[in-house]
A and B are shown apart, each in its own frame.
Chain A
């Protein structure tokens, strides 16, 4: 007994305790819901059986229904465009801003902090804001574009099936860029200054310094930022709810919004769960990349 207590205080027992605590937390709050989600994707679940533990089995019917659905192809394509487009633009703009503020001009840190204001806003608020900005008849975006002579007639961002997805994408890029910028700025500040000085002495120009020092040194951070970007973008829901509701005619529906529509608009929780399961698989792969890149980071 004494020995057990002793090992609890300092030793293997204490380590084990910590591991057990973390693992059981993960199991209860992340593992069980995940498993439950997989289970109901094989069941018929509606609202009034949602509260009960056992549901009639549906076999793989839910999966077949989803893949046979008229919308499936479009939703998949929309999700791919939305995710890749958002991540690419957020990353590029975020990196550009991070490099810009890395010049350490007067007030740089201050202004960089202000950029975070966009990121700390709730998604629904951002959505409502962009809903106004992008509105067809009286939107500020159209007003600006028309006055700059870029367009002749207003673009109905939200209501034209050709642009509705991009309306949300633009809002999402604006929303996610500051977060990318901050993470990348942290990465930049960790690169030792003397590397640049040495390169400069050797006659490397700015582009060469960026290409041979900044990028390689930032590899771990970039991997992490992109992985997190993909995960966050796949979670983006509020902007769709506020700007297009997945419409018109489903033209801006992405996987996460479709899953919600199936579950909470049509009350078919089984099919809603199918989409979540498929998305979990994608996120799992991305998470592996993320874990690997953070591992590389700690080894540096």
Chain B
């Protein structure tokens, strides 16, 4: 592993070595010890700075639940990496440490360089409650070999919804166990993450989910399922598993994010490419989801200085986030260094462009409930229990009650 330690980090390390001579142990909760925060925490612990960070992995689905329980009982860790739409719930209720003044005084962290989307997710009432880990968004992956086999041009992938539907129909090949498209419409935050961009491209948003046009987006999703262009298991499968079927050659296109690139480069035995999410009509509005985690310190930590020192170290390693973890930096001015894999480097450009259209979920302290209503809407339509407009109107009504 390439280790790039800038002069600022060296200075940081030196200045810290004295401060925690006693030895401080911090705890960090994260979805994965191999994610940047886990790897960086390990490195940080190995430095001679008197700080050790214990990393505990918590399943993504349980992260918020377990953390809430821990906060309620005062057994929370010192640090956490948390999905950005969940950040506001904790920040708004004082569970996270307000680091505004520390950031202002820091020589390492320049919070103004954080892109507006991630920036707003970690800000609550003009105060800063964390730093971004990375950014991600979703785009359309497609299997170039299958495109050629179906008589489609692998160099001009679908750009509009109609073209996407048409391509899915042509690529769909039940006899060979190939679906036209894979995505996730699961009743979880992943489903909301995948659906909102479609609603936004049609002119809606989370607080106007029944805007004119959103029903078209939902109808399109339903068409994919009704015509058998996507697996019925789309309703219960997450993005990781859906993309697994693409990598295995059982779906010709998949909607997913840059976190898949590493696995795809090694697993997929075919030529693939990435393109921007198709828009509603030619020249239509672009949108995508803004994903990824933030790092935050808990307000009740006994060692806020040590915890903040880790945030500074994390920040200083920003240029490693893309080449080592294929996650997009959330900080302006960090170049996407070449990875040595031409397909990944080509994808980097697409994702970087797509990220410019990415929109936040929230921020709102009641986001999980808002999200739940959006999930109810698309799931009830996709299972044939409600008409698109009817389901969206109902969701809009419930969301309005939560937001106001």
Contact = CB atoms under 8 A, between A and B. Distances in A.
A245 B235 contact: no
Nearest to A243: B236
A247 B177 contact: no
Contacts of A50: 68, 72
A137 B231 contact: yes
Nearest to B177: A137
A77 B76 CA distance: 38
Nearest to A263: B65
A156 B369 CA distance: 28
B93 to A, nearest CB: 5
A159 B232 contact: yes
A119 interface: no
Contacts of A160: 232, 383
A180 interface: no
B283 interface: no
Interface string A257-277: 000000011110000000000
Nearest to A266: B369
B233 to A, nearest CB: 5
A78 to B, nearest CB: 14
A161 B383 contact: yes
Contact of A135 (B69, B71, B233, B384): B233
A178 B69 CA distance: 34
B25 to A, nearest CB: 24
B236 A247 contact: yes
A282 B385 CA distance: 30
Contact of A248 (B71, B177, B235, B369): B235
Contact of B380 (A136, A249, A267): A249
Contacts of A251: 383
Most buried by A among B71, B245, B383: B383
Contacts of B245: 137
Nearest to A70: B394
A136 B187 CA distance: 17
B368 A265 contact: yes
Contacts of A213: none
Contact of A136 (B69, B73, B231): B231
Interface in B272-305: none
A267 B68 contact: yes
Interface in A140-176: 156, 158-161
B368 A267 contact: yes
A244 interface: yes
B84 interface: no
A250 interface: yes
A248 B191 CA distance: 12
A161 B372 CA distance: 18
Contact of A156 (B65, B187, B233, B368): B233
Contacts of B65: 264-265
Contacts of B383: 160-161, 248-249, 251
A48 interface: yes
A141 B155 CA distance: 40
Nearest to A155: B232
Most buried by B among A160, A247, A267: A247
B240 to A, nearest CB: 14
A229 interface: no
Given A48-B72, A51-B72, A264-B68, A246 B187 contact: yes
B95 interface: yes
Interface in A33-87: 47-48, 50-51
Contacts of B354: none
Contact of A159 (B74, B95, B233): B233
A118 B214 CA distance: 47
A249 B68 contact: no
Interface in B225-256: 231-236, 245, 250
Nearest to A247: B187
Contacts of B385: 161, 249
Interface string B47-81: 00000000000000000010011011110000000
Interface in B359-404: 368-369, 372, 376, 379-380, 382-385
A167 B188 CA distance: 19
Interface in A106-120: none
Given A158-B233, A248-B236, A248-B383, A48 B368 contact: no
A248 B187 contact: yes
B236 A51 contact: no
A159 B235 contact: yes
Nearest to B245: A137
A266 B402 CA distance: 12
Most buried by A among B65, B74, B177, B236: B236
A159 B369 CA distance: 23
Nearest to A162: B383
Contacts of B72: 47-48, 50-51
B67 to A, nearest CB: 10
Contacts of B380: 249
A69 B186 CA distance: 22
Contacts of B94: 48
A248 B382 contact: yes
B92 to A, nearest CB: 9
A266 B247 CA distance: 34
A91 to B, nearest CB: 29
A35 B382 CA distance: 41
Nearest to A253: B187
14 contacts: A47-B93, A50-B72, A137-B245, A137-B250, A156-B231, A159-B232, A159-B236, A160-B383, A161-B385, A249-B187, A250-B376, A251-B383, A265-B372, A266-B372
Given A136-B233, A247-B379, 12 more contacts: A47-B68, A50-B72, A51-B72, A137-B245, A245-B188, A245-B236, A246-B187, A248-B236, A249-B187, A265-B368, A266-B368, A267-B368
Report the 6 A-B pairs with minimum CB-CB distance, sorted nearest first.
Answer: A156-B232, A249-B379, A50-B72, A248-B235, A247-B187, A159-B235
